[in-house]
Amino acid sequence: MKIYHNPRCSKSKQTLNLIQEKGGNIEIIEYLKDNLSVIELEEIIEKLRISPIELVRKKEQIWIDNYKGKDLTDKEIIEGMVKHPKIMERPIVINGEKAIIGRPPENVLEIIN
């Protein structure tokens, strides 16, 4: 199992703690330090079964300043998240071929049981 984690985010910390309480073996990826590639992000989005825009934190200032109101392709949105990983929803938990966004943290129970 993997968690794309931001240690400064309370929801991300809560999600990680919940997984650890359940005894889950988890690889922690601090995506703000270890930038994702376009291919990695495409794979994550495919596992989440969402469109790229659904992974964007639309209230982040970086999104508002650089992307809001523009007619962007999925590829451009993914490239924006690779360039500015702070605009990605978090945390993302992957267990095999299943993935979920840990907002609220209890969402992860769907894929760890």
CATH number at residue 50: 3.40.30.10
Please indicate whether residue 9 is annotated as part of the active site: yes
Given a cut of 90, whether residue 65 has pLDDT beyond it is yes
Can you read off the two tokens belonging to residue 26? Answer: 């988890």
pTM for this entry: 0.93
pLDDT at 76: 98
> In percent, how much of the chain has pLDDT > 90?
93
Q: How many domains does the chain have?
A: 1
Which residue, 60, 45, 49, 51, is CA-closest to 9? 60
d(CA 106, CA 22): 12
What mean pLDDT is predicted for residues 42-60?
98
Which structural domain, as residue segments, surrounds residue 70? 2-112
Collapsing DSSP to helix, strand or coil, 11 comes out as helix
Over the chain, what is the mean pLDDT? 95
Bridge partners of 100, per DSSP, are 93
Q: Which of 1, 2, 9, 32 is catalytic?
A: 9
Q: What average pLDDT does range 71-75 have in this prediction?
A: 98
What average pLDDT does this structure show over 10-33? 93
Q: Is the pLDDT of residue 38 over 90?
A: yes
